[in-house]
Amino acid sequence: MSDPYLYAVTNNVATFSINGAPWNLMSLEYIDRLEEQLPEVLADDQIRAMIFTGEGLDHFSAGMNLKQIPDGIKRAGSPEAFFGQRHKVLDMIERGGTPTIATLYGYCLGGGLELPLACHFRIAAATGAQIGLPEMDLGTVPAWGGSARLPRAVGRTYALDMILRGRKIDGREAYRIGLVSELVPIETIKDRAQALGEELAAQPRKAVESMLDVVVGHETKTLDESMADETAAVAANRDTHDSTEGMRAFMEKRKPVFNQ
C-alpha cells in the first residue's frame, strides 16, 4: 500500500500532500497517520508552518472514502469514537500553535473542506474549484466540524446556504464571502502556499504561537476574555530574544532575523 500522504519539510515549512490523485480521498490510513505524526511535528521547533495539499492539480480532496466508514466505525468501537478521532486531528491542526495553510482546488468537498476550515489560511484556485459540504445530498449532515467552523468563517447566512442546499461554490465566491484569503492561478497554488509558509516561518515563533492562542476560537470568548489572553501574550513575549532583535533591527533600519 502506498503512503496515505507524502511528507516533506522545506525551509521550516512542513507539507502534507494526500497521496491519492486524482480524487485524493481522505482514507482511514490518512487520518491515522496524521493523528500519529502531528504531535511530533507540532513539538518540533524547526517546523514553523504547515501546508495541507493534495497530489496533482485535479482535486485537493473529494472528501472521505465513504466505503471505509463501516470498517472505520468497527475499528473505533463506535460512531462517536470514529468521528471523535477526526475532531481530535482537526483540533490539533487548528489549536496546535503552528500556522497552517490549505490549498483549495478542484473538489474540496465534505472532509475536503472541513480540514481546510481548521487551517488558519486558505488559498483557492481562481478557476475550477468546487467547494462545499454536500452531506445533505446523502441524507446526512457534516460530521468533522464543518457545521461548527463554517459559520465562524463566513457567517450564519452563507453557511446555511451552503449546508442546507448542499451548494458548491467556486474560488471567486469563496473569496467574496471570506472563506479564503487569496485567489491564485491553479498552476501556482502550491508555490504560493510554500511562499506564505516561509513568510510565516520567518516571523517570531513565540509571538505567532501567542497570537494563535488569542485569536483562534475568539468567537466563543467575551471581549474581556480575549483582552486577558492578549495581556498574557504581551507578558510572555516581553524581553524575549525576538522582541529584543525586532527593536534593535528597527533602530538599525534593517530586517530582523528571528528564531535564532
* Residue matched to cell numbers 457534516: 142
Contact at 8 Å (CB) between 209 and 99?
no
Annotated catalytic residue, options 135, 182, 198, 209: 135
Annotated catalytic residue, options 36, 114, 245, 252: 114
* Residue matched to cell numbers 485567489: 183
Q: How many angstroms separate the CA atoms of 235 and 240, rounded?
A: 10
Q: 69-76 and 28-42 helices cross at what angle (nearest 10)?
A: 50
55 as an active site residue: the answer is: no
CB-based contacts of 33, cutoff 8 Å, min separation 6 = 3, 4, 5
114 as an active site residue: the answer is: yes
The C-alpha cell that represents 107 in the structure block = 473538489
- Exposed e or buried b for every residue in 117-140, given b needs 16+ CB within 10 A? bbbbbbbbbbeebbbbbbbbeeee
Contact at 8 Å (CB) between 133 and 164?
no
- Residue numbers annotated as active site: 114, 135
